[in-house]
Amino acid sequence: MQLTQRCQYALRALFQLARQAEASPADPVLPAGDIAQAQAIPKRFLDGILLELRQAGFVESRRGKAGGFCLARPGAEITVGQVIRLYNGAMSPVDCRAGTAQPCPLTGACVFMSVWDQARAALEGVYDSVSLAELVERERRMFPPKKG
């Protein structure tokens, strides 16, 4: 399963908003330009992604001089898996298990079906177990702030 570039950008944008929410809970709003710059996302793509994320209930937008975007719910409640499903659909290692392929002539008699199902379950387990808050915490452990 390969994640689309759009999905990766969406995850990075949400991560940046989760960082902001943790760093400044009283002011969790970021302008789209700040998100784009911090996460190296082309602004023209980010605008559409933020609209999609707003429509899907992941972010809220605020208007005005101090406007921008913020998470619609806590980062601990948003998993990587939820975002992947929004952009990539089913997490299946093969098309026949994702429901996107032509009917397989081996359906019901394919020895690989259990393998594909195991792989899907493993992918879902990993992606669904990682929240945006967990990623912010991982970043803090991996790259502690420099003192001085």
The CATH architecture one would assign to domain 5-142 is Orthogonal Bundle (1.10)
Distance CA 35, CA 68 (A): 10
Q: What is the pLDDT of residue 106?
A: 74
Q: Specify the pLDDT at position 146.
A: 80
The answer to whether 56 touches 90, Cβ cutoff 8 Å, is no
Mean of the pLDDT values across residues 39-45? Answer: 96
Please determine, for residue 23, whether its predicted confidence score (pLDDT) is greater than 60: yes
Domains in the chain: boundaries: 5-142
pLDDT at 148 over 70: no
- pTM listed for this prediction: 0.89
Query: Which pLDDT value is given to residue 104?
Result: 73
Lowest mean pLDDT among 10-14, 62-66, 107-111: 107-111
Q: Of residues 21 and 90, which shows the higher confidence score?
A: 21
